[in-house]
A and B are shown apart, each in its own frame.
Chain A
C-alpha cells in the first residue's frame, strides 16, 4: 500500500529565504510522485511530477524537487520565497496499476515580509 507523509503542517519562511517542504513516501513499487499547490478557495495546481526520467525535477514558479530512493523522499524546494508562494502544498503518490492518487496531509506555507 502506498502512503505519503508530509513533515510539518505549517512552515513559515521570510521573503527571499529558501523554501523546503518535506515529503516521504511509502510504496511497494516504483512510484509516480507529484507536488500540487492549492491557493485559498481554489483547486489544485500541478507544480511538478516525478516519473523516473530524472531524479531532479523542475516545476513551475521556480520550484524543484529531488527524488531520493534511498531516503524514500521527494522534498520540494525553491531558492527564494515570494509572497505569492503562500499556499497549501500537497505531495501525492500514485503507483503503476492504480488510479488512486494518495495525498499527504498538506503543508501550509506562510511567507513573512
Chain B
C-alpha cells in the first residue's frame, strides 16, 4: 500500500482564519514533506520532516507552521494567509529519512482558496 491521504480535499478560508491541513501515511515512512503547487507550475518544496524532526524549511513565511505529531501524521497550520497563498498543497512521504534519492509518494492534495 503506497497511499498518502490528505484532508480536507478543498478548503476556503478568509485572511483572518486559522485552519489546518492534515496528512497521514501508514507505510512506516520516516520522512514526510509539504509542497505547494500553483496552477500550471511544478510543485515547490516547503518543508521536510525526518524522524519527526524538521529538517528543511525552504524559507517559508511564518504564516505556515508545520507540525509532525508522530511518524504517521503531518499537519500544516495556516494563519493570516494571503490570496496569493491559494494553491494545491501536496503532502509526500518516503521510506528512509536519509537524503539519498528516495522515492516520494504523494497524496491527492488539498486545494486551498484564500479570500
Q: In the assembly, what is the distance between CA of A34 and CA of B101, in Å?
A: 10
Cβ of A90 within 8 Å of any chain B Cβ, yes or no, is yes
Q: How far is the CB of A105 from chain B (nearest CB, A)?
A: 6
* Contact (Cβ within 8 A) A94 B101: yes
* Contact (Cβ within 8 A) A104 B45: no
* Contact (Cβ within 8 A) A32 B101: yes
* Contact (Cβ within 8 A) A46 B103: yes
Among the stretches B12-20, B67-75, B79-87, B105-113, the one at the interface with A is B105-113
Q: In the assembly, what is the distance between CA of A43 and CA of B101, in Å?
A: 20
Residue of B nearest to A99 (CB): B99
* Contact (Cβ within 8 A) B109 A42: yes
Size range of the chain B interface in the assembly: 20 to 34
Cβ of A103 within 8 Å of any chain B Cβ, yes or no, is yes
* Contact (Cβ within 8 A) B90 A44: yes
Cβ of B31 within 8 Å of any chain A Cβ, yes or no, is yes
Cβ of A45 within 8 Å of any chain B Cβ, yes or no, is yes
Q: In the assembly, what is the distance between CA of A34 and CA of B103, in Å?
A: 8
Assuming the contacts A42-B109, A43-B107, asked whether A99 and B42 have C-beta atoms less than 8 A apart, the reply is no
- Chain B residue contacts of A44, Cβ below 8 A: 43, 90, 92, 106
* Contact (Cβ within 8 A) A97 B106: no
Q: In the assembly, what is the distance between CA of A43 and CA of B31, in Å?
A: 18
Which residues of B are at the interface with A, using a C-beta cutoff of 8 A? 4, 6, 31, 33, 40-43, 45, 48, 50, 55-56, 90, 92, 99-109, 111
Which residues of A are at the interface with B, using a C-beta cutoff of 8 A? 31-32, 34, 36, 41-46, 49, 51, 90, 94-101, 103-106
Query: Could you give 29 example pairs across A and B, Cβ below 8 Å?
Result: A34-B103, A41-B111, A43-B4, A43-B6, A43-B109, A44-B43, A44-B92, A44-B106, A46-B103, A46-B105, A49-B103, A51-B101, A94-B101, A96-B99, A96-B100, A96-B101, A97-B99, A99-B31, A99-B45, A99-B50, A99-B55, A99-B56, A99-B99, A100-B45, A101-B104, A103-B42, A105-B42, A106-B40, A106-B42
